[in-house]
Each structure stands twice: as structure tokens, then as C-alpha cells.
Amino acid sequence: MWPFTRIASTETVHGQNLHADSDLKRLAKVEIEYRQAEREFNRAWFEVAKFRATHKDPNLPFFLDGKKFTPVFTRPLDARLSALEHDKQEKLDRRNALLNERADLMRKLRLIS
């Protein structure tokens, strides 16, 4: 009767947590979502970098006759750049939230310390 022992608690079977299976499934799901969020963030970062490379910022300091000048009354940021930066920040926040959830699940499953 070795494999059919009485279970003392509904939480554990031979010292293993019954919720570990659901945590492993959740970890697998979060891992997939995290990798997708990472790709989306990288794309958003690339779009911002491409925009900045093709549209020079007029608010940058400049040199004239060896002296550095910084514009004081500058134009506001381009609306497209602002939208791209906002999108990038949202994707970064989503990626970081999934990364934190992934780390918490891995700690809970004792895959990391």
C-alpha cells in the first residue's frame, strides 16, 4: 500500500504543495507573456530611437565661438515623439510588472532564492 497512503492534509501530498502545479502553470504563462512584453518594449524603444535619429531635437545645447549656449525658451516636444515615449513607457511598465510577478513565482516555487 505504499503509493496509497493516507493524506494528513489537503495542502500537501508527501510533503509537496498541491498548489505548486497551478503555480508552475502560472509561471509558464507569465514567462510567455513576459517574453512577448519584452519584444514589444524593444520594438517601442527602437521606434523612439529611430524617430530621434531622423528628427533632431532643437532644444539641445549648442556651441558658438567656443561658448556653450542652452536654449531657454524652447519649443515643446513633438507630439509624435511624446506619443512614442508614452507608448514605450507603458510597455516598459508592463514588462517590469511581469518580470516582478515571474520573480515572485520563482521564489515561491524555490527555483531562485
Nearest to 44 by CA among 95, 79, 97, 101: 95
pTM of the model: 0.69
Write out 22-46 in H/E/C secondary structure. Answer: HHHHHHHHHHHHHHHHHHHHHHHHH
Q: What is the pLDDT of residues 92-108, one digit of tens each?
A: 999 999 999 999 999 99
DSSP 62: E
Average pLDDT of the segment spanning 65-74: 84
Q: In the chain, what percentage of residues exceed pLDDT 90?
A: 53
Q: What was the pLDDT predicted at 19?
A: 66
For residue 13, the cross-strand partners are: 16
Cell numbers linked to 27: 509561471
